Chains A and B, each alone.
Chain A
Amino acid sequence: MNFPILTAITFIPLLISTIVLLIPKSKENWIRSVSTVLSLIPLALSIYIYIAVRADPGKMHFTEEYSWIPAIDVYYRMGVDGLSAVMLVLTTLLSTLCYYYSIYTIKNRVKEYYFLFLLLQVGMSGVFVSLDFIFFYVFWEIGLVPMYLLIGIWGGERRIYASIKFFLYTLAGSMAMLLAIIGVYLATGTFNILEAAAAQPFAGNFALSAAAFWAFFVAFAIKVPIFPFHTWLPDAHTEAPTAGSVILAGVLLKLGAYGLIRIVLPIFPKTFAFYSYNVPVIPILAVISIVYGALVCMAQWDLKRLIAYSSVSHMGYVTLGISAAAASLAISGREGTATSAIISINGASLQLFTHGVITGGLFFLVGMIYDRAHTRQIRDFGGLGSKVPYYYGIMMVTGFASLGLPGLAGFWSEFFVFRGAFAIIPIFAIIGVLGIVFTAAYILWKIVQHIFLGEFDQEKWDQVTHQAKLTDLATFEKITMWPLVILMVLIGFYPSLIVRLLNGVSTALVNNILP
């Protein structure tokens, strides 16, 4: 066993946070720069992992296993495959960008801010690398606490309501998951996620299986979020500080979908298939998320809220993709099913990455304009395109990526999802495509037209912003945005950069669940 790279990538942020804790409160610049610079280490490590996993993405690498609480059979198990590696890159990248961006935007209680943010990163990375249920759960919840405090302390006006709502929703879901985890343990005798998947618990007992399935599903669905469980999201996203929103949309939402792919699908394939095909509850919810989210976006006048709802819509594609893969089990005899299933999972997991990058970028952009105007109301703007061309340009790229313009990142993931789903659950795929139309509508109509096009009205601007200065992007904002824009374009032209890793994982997964 060589260098425990996964332990390092998970716990280096904890180390940094300890260092931050030791730096005196008054030395704010030290805190900022130390956090940002040192956070490059996990970023570098994750890129190294990405490269190392590329060769054989379908199986676990860098696995670590130590006895942690043997009395209750809990082990310290880590491992990384293609999917995890991609998510790790996303996590570390967005975190570093957030630290950097926050150097210039967070002015009060800096020490606490960085401390909590670093803790958050520990939780997020931990979830992506853990292979033990309890261990997974621990990181899952560890991520929850700092986010709660981040929203509550640095958030907007309704931050207290939003933070408590966020916390309680997630807590409710995770408590249900805890019961399900214990149930799986009692059925299989292990907390190891891979072994549990191999053991196929509750195979003979549909009622129990369904109960455990729904417990997991609800926990993850709340995080994703899928339609009836999504109500926390607009509040939390809207009230969180910019970096918080970025991480929320960019990484935290992915935890739920990751859980669906990593845990629910392999462990309860039959049940999942049942609810995806025979009683298609899940695809229905996914489609509702897509369409409803997009429609609500069209009705929103708060820019940040709009983007928040767009996440609901976009994450609906992910759910649709996963449920399509699950439904493939029900029609496994049909030709090409396996390929379609693999494609749809590829799409869903690619969507995780691209949505992370795109929506992260969008929230950054919203934060930037808000810092200038101190308002997020779309009606307050108009004709900004001529005033802030640089900002306009980047917004255009990101927005088009979001609506799935070919050549940009969003296209491929949506394409894969619909390609896969169409072969398996065609009705839902067709309805889902409607979502793309609405997305295009609100991006073009709401964002591009209302904000950037038209005449700039200086008087109105002065009135709503109390004569704030309107400047184009500063250097640090450009530095924050460029990596994201590059990624969007890069994946748009060369999706294999990511899909190659994901494909290995999906192939292995589908081969395991299909008879």
Chain B
Amino acid sequence: MAIPINWFLVLAAGLFCIGLYGVLSRRNAIGILMGIELMLNAVNINLITFWRYINPVKLTGQVFAIFVFTVAAAEVAVGLALVIAIYRNRDTVIVEEIDLLKE
């Protein structure tokens, strides 16, 4: 193949770190969630790249990626339900303003 494997991996690492930055720097719960999604996408790029380059005969990487999709969808569903619930209760989803639980 024309493209060396580490290009993809560096791309994934970049995406992962961008996602991590989003997670760490956002105040909005939904913003954090978006960062998490970016991180999961980076993981998937990694998995598919390894599958393609290291052992394309066994589809382990693809299967793993499919499970990541599944879990990501489930996580988002629960997470957004929680966001809605907290918004209804507290009228905010800014993480710093969600502060009933501090002594």
A adjacent to B, CB under 8 Å: no
